[in-house]
Structure 1
Amino acid sequence: MKFIVSSTALFSHLQAVSRVINSKNTLPILDCFLFDLQDGTLSITVSDTETTMVTSVEVNESDKNGRFAVVAKTLLDALKEIPEQPITFDINDTLEITVQYQNGKYSLMGQNADEFPQSAALGDNAVRVEMGADILLSGINRAIFATADDELRPVMNGIYFDITTDDITMVASDGHKLVRYKTLVARGNERAAFILPKKPANLMKNLLGKEQGNVVIEFDERNAVFTMERYRMVCRLIEGRYPNYNSVIPQNNPHKVTVDRQMLVGALRRVSIFSSQSSSLIKLRMQENMIVISAQDIDFSTSAEETQVCQYSGNAMSIGFKSTFLIDILNNMSASEVVIELADPSRAGVIVPVEQEENEDILMLLMPMMLND
């Protein structure tokens, strides 16, 4: 079989899906791209057995249909060095591949496509929802930093999609911090939920920025299929029950601090340099329209303190947080001003934007650390 394809079109698609491939694979065929040429369209598939991604690129001309596998790293590295031009792939019956370009040619061996694992099929009871690529990207971007790496509680290692007939909520938590991103633009036809693992979530994050239109999500108890304009991803879901996330969000928080997000991040970055390296503990002391951010490291006799203006009119109170977590949370919000809602120093702080974006509701939560004084 023989076909001609644009070098840069092929390279950009290969590069996008190659992130699925693990650095170490038990099956050698998983180090490969699967090429399947049917009627002038070249489909490219990659898999790590849990996640499979497919993309397709139109070829300029081809003589017949066929399929073969080729080692991903070699082909990617070789195509990276070729400027935009048509390149010709010629594959003979013994799977020898010749890639011809303007000034030369590459020769490499292909592998039998039949060894490539089949991607999972969904059951008859699969649920289907649609959401805009930009909304899905926004939710994944906001939530993914809060997922856990917990071997004992695997359900915490992904993003939980909670689907109702009114809205779709994406939740992530590692037990210290929690993100709840609700969109009112997308909804389901029935109540349903699934947990998307971190790796496919990261893969989607890299692809969705270039996508337009809607993403169709279909899922059953074990797998989900995400169909985009140019890519299709099938992934194994995390099985198990996600904890009731609403029950951990404190409801009555009388102390409310309104503060400029970027100014607070800057202060936290400066002051946290002087916090204890083991705990990264910083102390926030709220009093009439000001917030005092302080940290100390007793072992090295260092300390820092900075005062910022804010809107606050309650009784003076102090609370401790891990500075790296609080900075993470503030960096994953886009509002210029945020409200930190507090009940007392032992209960979680709730952080929300002063003004929510249209049709979305975002809330982040951070557990406090005990203050010694």
Structure 2
Amino acid sequence: MKFNCTQENLHRGLALVSHVASRASTLPILTNILFEATGTSLVLSATNLEIGIRTKVRGKVEREGKVVVPARLIDECVALLPKENVVLTLEGDALRIQSGSHDNKIHTLPADDFPLLPTIDERIVIDVTPTRLAQVLRVTLFAVSFDDTRPELSGVLIATRGGVLTAAATDSYRLAEKTTELVRASQDIEGVIIPLRTMQEVARALALISPGEEEGVVKIALGEHQVSFHMEDTLIISRLIDGQYPHYQDIIPPQYESSATVERAVLEQALKAASLFSMTGINDISLTLLPGEGGIRVRAANIHVGENTTVVPASVRGKEVEVVVNWKYLSEGLQSFSAETVNLEVNNTQSPMVVKPQGEKGHLYLVMPIRQ
């Protein structure tokens, strides 16, 4: 095997696949990357048996071949090379890596020992632009649960209807929902749960798409128990999570008795100040919508520390109402918005608070109240 390419192309390809391989620990072979020089490119593959990833590195194949290389070592080695041409040559059981004055040899394993990435029976196919998908993931992934006792919450719910994709994530304390338009859908998806780790790898791959290139589409294909994401020269395959996702629409109030429009940055600053006085572990702060004063009172009190009160200017409608929430959850939701102004909507002290970006449709964040 002999392959020539730029350091930038090789480093980018390794950055995509090495993250999956480096975390694998069940089998030693899974801490490696499969290198396959074929046709006009080098194909890199990695898997942890739950997620599989394959990407192409463009270059010149002088001699075809394949070999298995330690993921962490090759990734760190290539990252330190100068931004010049790199030559990969298989010499016996060692992969030689040459670039400028740098010359490295890495011991390898036989390619036959590496597990094959699964193929998927594409029953449903949808296309979405990379920009739209990246935005959906950015505003939902942080709300996914890390509780292993409820596996159905450890992923993102994806559903489509009428050319619109809806993604939802919840840990039962807060909920993030985002909708976006699709380029194409072969049919509607009632709802599938995709693991958080898979979606994180998709987000990482989207971030590595070369800037300035004409935007294409991400092809999402669903099989009976698997899902695949095909973007540019990269393919990610993963299992789906079995289970019934909660019917979260039931907890979203159809109407609100009180609402407020406020500058997001100003409210975030008030939350940070109040957080210094909240109870450790509970992170409780109270928000009171004050229609008479035209503001939102943000308050926290701790018998061991003291108390903090800030009235944030806001346009308030409806009646005065107070709700106690976890400031971390509310702050993370606010940070997921790009709009400078947000709407807070609430009914009473026992109902959830819903946050929406001003002037944007299809984005909702909900925080459950802390019952006093």
Q: Which TM-score bucket, shorter chain as reference?
A: over 0.9
Structure 2 Cα separation of the partners of residues 53 and 24 of structure 1:
13
* 1:292 to partner: Cα distance: 0.9
* 1:8 to partner: Cα distance: 2.5
Of all paired residues, the percent bearing the same amino acid is 24
Structure 2 Cα separation of the partners of residues 205 and 88 of structure 1:
30
Q: Is the 8 A contact 1:6 1:60 kept in 2?
A: no
Q: Residue 295 of structure 2 aligns with which residue?
A: 290
Tell me the SS of whatever aligns to 1:179.
strand
Q: Residue 157 of structure 1 aligns with which residue?
A: 154
Q: Is the 8 A contact 1:163 1:187 kept in 2?
A: no
Tell me the SS of whatever aligns to 2:362.
strand
Structure 2 Cα separation of the partners of residues 101 and 207 of structure 1:
26
Tell me the SS of whatever aligns to 1:17.
helix
Q: Residue 138 of structure 1 aligns with which residue?
A: 135
RMSD, aligned α-carbons: 1.6
Which residue of the other structure, out of 252, 256, 273, is the alignment partner of 1:253? Answer: 256
Q: Is the 8 A contact 1:165 1:189 kept in 2?
A: no
Q: Is the deviation greater in 107-116 or in 259-268?
A: 107-116
Structure 1 residues 148 and 235 mapped into 2: Cα distance closer, same or farther (>3 Å)?
same
Q: Residue 103 of structure 1 aligns with which residue?
A: 101
Q: Is the 8 A contact 1:292 1:305 kept in 2?
A: yes
Q: Residue 212 of structure 2 aligns with which residue?
A: none
Q: Is the deviation greater in 78-87 or in 328-337?
A: 78-87
Structure 1 Cα separation of the partners of residues 183 and 152 of structure 2:
24
Q: Residue 369 of structure 2 aligns with which residue?
A: 368
Alignment of 1:78-227 (within 5 A): 78-92=77-91, 94-123=92-121, 126-186=123-183, 188-192=185-189, 193-211=191-209, 212-227=215-230
Tell me the SS of whatever aligns to 2:232.
coil
Q: Is the 8 A contact 2:40 2:58 kept in 1?
A: yes
Q: Is the 8 A contact 2:41 2:57 kept in 1?
A: yes
- Residue identity matched to 1:363: L
Alignment of 1:53-72 (within 5 A): 53-63=53-63, 65-72=64-71
Q: Is the 8 A contact 1:173 1:179 kept in 2?
A: yes
Structure 2 Cα separation of the partners of residues 189 and 171 of structure 1:
21
- Residue identity matched to 1:333: F
* 1:187 to partner: Cα distance: 5.6
Could you tell me which runs of 5 or more consecutive residues in structure 2 were left unpaired when the two chains were aligned: 210-214
Q: Is the 8 A contact 1:280 1:322 kept in 2?
A: yes
- What do residues 94-136 of structure 1 show as CA deviations (whole Å, max 9, x unaligned)? 4222223322421222111111111222236x21000000111
- Residue identity matched to 2:296: I
Q: Residue 233 of structure 1 aligns with which residue?
A: 236
Q: Is the deviation greater in 129-138 or in 204-213?
A: 204-213
Q: Is the 8 A contact 2:286 2:325 kept in 1?
A: yes
* 1:40 to partner: Cα distance: 2.5
- Residue identity matched to 1:318: E
Structure 2 Cα separation of the partners of residues 54 and 61 of structure 1:
18
The TM-score with structure 2 as length reference comes to 0.93
Structure 1 Cα separation of the partners of residues 284 and 13 of structure 2:
45
Q: Is the 8 A contact 1:215 1:228 kept in 2?
A: yes
- What do residues 43-71 of structure 1 show as CA deviations (whole Å, max 9, x unaligned)? 001111111111111223413x2111111
Structure 1 Cα separation of the partners of residues 89 and 39 of structure 2:
16
* 1:167 to partner: Cα distance: 1.2
* 1:186 to partner: Cα distance: 4.5
Tell me the SS of whatever aligns to 1:200.
helix
Structure 1 residues 75 and 251 mapped into 2: Cα distance closer, same or farther (>3 Å)?
same
